[in-house]
Amino acid sequence: MKGEECKENAVGIKPERVQKILSTYGVASRRSAEKLILDGRVCINGVQATLGQSAVVGSDEITVDGVPLAAHDKPVYIMLNKPCGYITTVTDIRGRSTVMDLMTEVKCRVYPVGRLDKDSEGLLLFTNDGAFANSIMHPSFNKQKTYEVEVLGDAQRAFLLLQQPVKIDDHTVSALKVELSEKSRDGGVFKISISEGKNRQIRKMCAVCGLSVKSLKRISIGSLELDSLKSGEWRFLTEEEILALGKR
């Protein structure tokens, strides 16, 4: 399959470039992932990958230095209440604090599912199950993610604007649900639910609507809620929670 494009899998998930997959799963930045591929350290279904090649997570086996991107021997599912100040990646060549610094007591290899930027906090999932991760991240599965957003600006005006399609980075996006839970003289607190999950989407939507984000916290993914988990703490998901998230 070297040099060929992988076909869509049974559920219609389109293939993505391998360097993007490695970046999404926190293995390396996209530029560093390209170097891994060029150095011959990445394989797809046992064949050395080429730069620009695509694959489908959950259908194709992707390995880095012989280690599977998603090991299926013993699936592990974890939720973390990510604090501010940590980047969502497995390693960082600049030596910055990563979310993996909070997971040192986890004895098996896991990776973060999706991303929360350095200045954001809240619910972040970890797993070694590629199909599960894909079902959370890929927009075709329509997993609702809800954020609590404290803002500065005209919250009442923005409330009306946020309920309409908003254009960011040449893409038109829409919130699934918007609530203005608190309003003050200089801002307010929103609860915003989305499913697309584009890069810094909530912050960019707020900026387009004239708001400055003071804090951003993800409080739920699908039916899974952050609840009383303290900042910096993690726990394993229950079987019921895994099933409710739509594990395939």
Quote the strand ranges of the chain, DSSP E.
Answer: 16-17, 42-44, 47-48, 54-55, 62-64, 67-68, 77-82, 111-113, 121-127, 145-152, 166-168, 171-173, 177-183, 187-194, 212-221, 224-225, 234-236
The residue annotated as part of the active site, out of 60, 92, 101, 117, is 117
Sheet holding 67-68, edge to edge: 47-48, 42-44, 62-64, 67-68
Is residue 227 flagged as an active site residue? no
CA dist., res. 152 & res. 186, Å (int): 6
CA dist., res. 51 & res. 42, Å (int): 10
User: Which residues are catalytic, by number?
Assistant: 117
